[in-house]
Each structure stands twice: as C-alpha cells, then as structure tokens.
Amino acid sequence: MNESSSPGFSFPGPVRRPPGAGTPSPHPWNRFVALGDSFTEGVGDPEPRSPGGVRGWADRVAEELSADHADFAYANLAVRGRLMQQIIDQQLGPALDLKPDLVTVSAGGNDMVFHGSDPDKLAEKLDPAIGLLSASGATVVLFTGPDWGNTPVFGRIRGKTAIFNENLRTIASRHEGVVADLWTLRQLTDPQMWDPDRLHFSPLGHHTIAAMVLDALNVQHTLSPLDPKPLPTASWRQARSGDLVWAKDYLVPWVLRRIRQRHPSLGLTAKRPEPGPVFGPGMPRGPRPLDPLELPSAESA
C-alpha cells in the first residue's frame, strides 16, 4: 500500500485485519476520522470537557488508540440529524482531504427511521463512497444497525434494518472493510445502554460500543466489559406508563418540530473538524455544547 503523510504527522498505510484474526497487537493507525450523525457525534454521552459537550464511542475509541502513539490525531466530522446523502456530500470530501488511515462510517439510520427509505437504495448510495475511502488506503469500519426488537416505533423498521445490514456486510467485503456489528451486540438490549429518549445510547452504551469497535479492529484496549445489574421486569402497566412518558417528552416534541419545519441540526458543525490530539494542548475546541432543549431529530444507532 502507498504511504501517506501530512505536515506534523506521519503514518504507514493501514493493515486491514478482519475481526478475530489472531492475537491483538499494537495497532498501525495514527490518523482516525469518524463520519456520521448523532450516533458518532456522541449524543447521549454528555461530557462538558469534550469538544461539543459530548463524548461518545468514537472519542472513547480515539482515547484508546492514542495510547503510546505520540503523533495520533483524531477528527470527528459527524453532525446530529444528518441523512446519508448529506453525510456523503458534506463529510466524504473533507475526510479524504484529511488523509486518514482509519475511517469509521455510520449512515442510513436516520433515513430508514424517519424517512422510510429503501435499504437497497441506501446501500447503492453508500457503496461508491466506501470504495473511495478504501481506495485511499484507509481501513474503513462500517456499522450495522442495532436490533431494536419489538420496541415501540422502531420495531417496525426491524426488517429494513436487517436488509440494510446484509448490504453493509457485502459492501465491507467488497472493499476490504471491517464490520462493527451493533446487530449482534446483545448487551444493547439492556435498557441501561440507552438514553431516556430511546434514540441515542447512554454513556454505558457508548462505552460498550467502543469496546466492540476496538475488538473488531483486533486492538488491545483497557475498556473492561461492564455487567450492569439487571432491571426488574416491568409489569404491563409500568411499561405502558413508560411509553406514555416517552411519547410526551420526546416523540410529540419531535413531531411538532416537523410540523413547524424547525430542524434542530441546521447550522450545527462537526465537533472536531480537524485532526488533533485526543488530550491536552492543541485539542480542538469544537462547536458549542448540545443544548438540552434541542433534541436531535434522528439517530442511526
């Protein structure tokens, strides 16, 4: 593979390793760029000390990858609420310009959840974008969608998600990508893994996903698996009460915003638009922290 470089940074071409291939060893990556929507931005994992006021799985992965890598740099171009075509149009070019050797891509969930998009057509859009990233020499990580089961609202797209996931596996195979498999990450069935809005992951969920991504890359890390105490099984009446509270606090405001054509993601920018150190001097400041009154419109968990 060709060797890439940039002022202040030097890194070899990536080593593409399938999940579970041998014993984990020190990783070869020095420049990591994350693309996507609120899932990758880190919504649901508040941290005032992080750029943009949120942390998330991508930050947690970068923290681990930066250990013992003095020149490691990380950029996060994800913006909450973005649809797949927006991610391709607005983030693909800037990502290629940053010359990463590791790229993560999560896109399509907002399209299916809130726009009823066809999973096959979404895959057709995504395939050439992944081809460009792979051709640059970067290792590309693709996320499958989670299994929402028969949960309210989102259980109805379970079949579409499954079809999209199979398309993603085909795309990953075609372009020598790595699959970060949320669908088979059964820990995500624990309610503690989710934010109260039921759209985004909680800090525990982001932590669990970060560990899964590092495992998929076959990278040694210090993220210990957590075994949260199971919640008591809710009665039918308690479950219905919880659904009503969720609808009042999250679903109804979202619908009203659509009626008023107020899109909360307009005007927002990436929290880490330039590669920089994960910690310390030179770390990007990012945009303003998330306003708690601005519920992101959608998520590709």
- List CB contacts of 167: < 8 A, sequence separation 6 or more: 119, 120, 122, 123
279 and 67 in contact (C-beta within 8 Å)? no
Q: State the pLDDT at residue 49.
A: 81
Q: State the pLDDT at residue 1.
A: 35
Both structure tokens of 250: 């999250």
Q: What pTM was estimated for this model as a whole? A: 0.75
Parallel/antiparallel/unpaired status of strands 73-76 and 31-35: parallel
Q: State the pLDDT at residue 252.
A: 53
Q: Can you tell me the distance from the alpha carbon of 86 to that of 104, in angstroms, rounded to the nearest whole number?
A: 16
Q: State the pLDDT at residue 167.
A: 98
Q: State the pLDDT at residue 11.
A: 27
Q: State the pLDDT at residue 67.
A: 87
Annotated domain spans of the chain: 23-225+266-276
Q: State the pLDDT at residue 253.
A: 57
Nearest 5 degrees, angle CA 90-CA 94-CA 100? 135
Q: Can you tell me the distance from the alpha carbon of 265 to that of 80, in angstroms, rounded to the nearest whole number?
A: 6
Architecture, CATH, for domain 23-225+266-276: 3-Layer(aba) Sandwich (3.40)
Q: State the pLDDT at residue 172.
A: 98
Parallel/antiparallel/unpaired status of strands 9-11 and 4-6: antiparallel
293 and 103 in contact (C-beta within 8 Å)? no
SS3 content of the chain, % helix, strand, coil (to 5): 40, 10, 50
Amino acid (one-letter) located at 117: S
Task: Give 10-residue mean pLDDT values along the chain (301 residues).
Answer: 32 38 71 97 90 91 90 94 96 96 96 93 98 98 89 80 97 98 93 86 94 95 62 41 50 51 60 78 49 40 42
